[in-house]
Amino acid sequence: MDIFSKIKEKLSNEFIDIVEWLDYTDDTIAHRFERYQNEIKNGAKLIVREGQAAVFVNEGQLADVFTPGTYELTTKNLPILATLKGWKYGFNSPFKAEVYFVNTHLFTDEKWGTKSPITLSDERFGLVEIRAFGTYAFKVSDPGKFITEIVGTDSNFTNFEINEHLKSLIATRFTDTVGEANLPIELYAANTSELSETCQEVMHPEFMTVGIALEKFYIENVSMPEDLKKEIFEYSRIDKLDLDKLTKFKTAKAIEAAATNEGGTAGAGMGMGMGFVLAQQMGGMMNTGQNQMQMGNAAPQGAMMPPPIPAQVQYYYATNGTQHGPVSFDQLKSLFASRTINKESLIWKQGMSGWKALQEVEELKSFLGGNTPPPLPSN
């Protein structure tokens, strides 16, 4: 080889470029490879690493897209660019083209949320407002479309720039999806997994229109006002309860509260009135049970059924201005014997118009001692 051939080969090697991009960030999606006047030498080496794609743009028009690998840039592997340039017989001089490297790896843990409350119509609670937030993951699936539709001439495009666009898209489609779902309001928080999958299916085609694939979509929380949450909890409890049993239970609790109330006669009257209602309900249940037993086990013909045992009279008494009771006749007698009450103590029972001293209640006069004979009549 003569001296001129060696000089030519040396100059040729010096002109060969290496087109590559090493990403030292974790948020860059697209980066434009910079060259003076965008000139790339013929025979330059293109290195595309895993998780990247190289997009060639000529005068604003998409040319070639390269996937991971090492390439020598010639008319053979730049067919579209060669066609655009009209080089029929190859090229030896530098050519101009913009080269964008696109990150195709998965961008994870991106945040989204509703900027304002979403108004929904519920059959039971009317118009209600909810908020939601979560995360999503995406990656560039079509580098060429992504460059032409989103990046444009931006030399360093980050996920922060695309996130604002994507979050607006998510919020809009999420609102449409939950509105069309028409679920009871309490089920939105209970079915976040199913709702997440549905939203991802709805949003994926729109992401694809700009060359992005929505790989994951998660709803982490659906929140609502506290007063609405309390109403839902109360409604849920009532819906699961036997209302008949609940009514009887609350009636019994009200009687107990009235009996210990220090309100005097008014409290006693209220307690007795509610007691009558409960007694009637329980009496009806007992009669029903007795009738069913009589029908199932009929007594022999001519046999007499004993009458029901009469209800025991209940008494209320007052000491130191405080109402107590109800107690039975025997219990009241024991209280008198232990001097808890005396003949002046006020007593009330059903049927009495008001409180009376013990000594004025006919059946209680026996407490005072009835064994002493009355005085002899005078002559």
Each residue of 125-160: pLDDT tens digit?
A: 778 888 899 999 999 999 999 998 888 878 888 888
Rounded-to-integer distance, Cα 68 and Cα 47, Å: 8
Residue ending a domain, among 60, 84, 103, is 103
Q: Please determine, for residue 374, whether its predicted confidence score (pLDDT) is greater than 70.
A: no
Q: Are residues 145 and 41 in the same domain?
A: no
Q: What is the pLDDT of residues 181-202, one digit of tens each?
A: 777 777 777 778 888 898 999 9
Q: Which pLDDT value is given to residue 104?
A: 93
Please give the model's pTM, rounded to 2 decimal places.
Answer: 0.53
Is residue 266, in this structure, part of any structural domain at all? yes
Residue ending a domain, among 230, 262, 286, is 230
Q: Residue 375: which pLDDT band, with cuts at 50, 70 and 90?
A: low
Q: Residue 378: which pLDDT band, with cuts at 50, 70 and 90?
A: low
Q: Which pLDDT value is given to residue 243?
A: 55
Give me the residues paired with residue 201 across strands. none
**Strands 322-327 and 356-357, sheet pairing:** unpaired
Rounded-to-integer distance, Cα 54 and Cα 31, Å: 10
CATH number for the domain spanning 137: value is: 3.30.479.30
For the record, the structure tokens of 52 come out as 């990247």
Is residue 28, in this structure, part of any structural domain at all? yes
For the record, the structure tokens of 33 come out as 């490879």
- Please give the helix or strand (H or E) that residue 109 lies within, else none: strand 107-113
Domain that holds residue 87: 3-103
Q: Which pLDDT value is given to residue 224?
A: 80
**Who wins on pLDDT, 362 or 259?**
362
Is residue 293, in this structure, part of any structural domain at all? no
List the one residue out of 69, 65, 19, 60 whose CA is nearest residue 42.
Answer: 19
Q: Are residues 248 and 364 in the same domain?
A: yes
Number of domains composing the chain: 3
Average pLDDT estimate for 66-92: 72
Q: Residue 346: which pLDDT band, with cuts at 50, 70 and 90?
A: very high
* Radius of gyration of the chain from its Cα atoms, rounded to whole angstroms: 46
**Who wins on pLDDT, 42 or 366?**
366
Residues 6+ positions from 67 with CB-CB distance below 8 Å: 48, 53
Is residue 185, in this structure, part of any structural domain at all? yes
Residues 6+ positions from 133 with CB-CB distance below 8 Å: 111, 112, 113, 114, 219, 220, 221
Is residue 141, in this structure, part of any structural domain at all? yes
Judged by average pLDDT, the poorest of 19-28, 160-169, 254-263 is 254-263
Q: Please determine, for residue 371, whether its predicted confidence score (pLDDT) is greater than 60.
A: no
Q: Are residues 261 and 197 in the same domain?
A: no
Largest CA distance in the chain: 177
Average pLDDT estimate for 246-257: 70
Is residue 219, in this structure, part of any structural domain at all? yes
Residue ending a domain, among 61, 85, 103, is 103
Q: Please determine, for residue 180, whether its predicted confidence score (pLDDT) is greater than 70.
A: yes
The letter for the amino acid at 4 is: F
CATH number for the domain spanning 321: value is: 3.30.1490
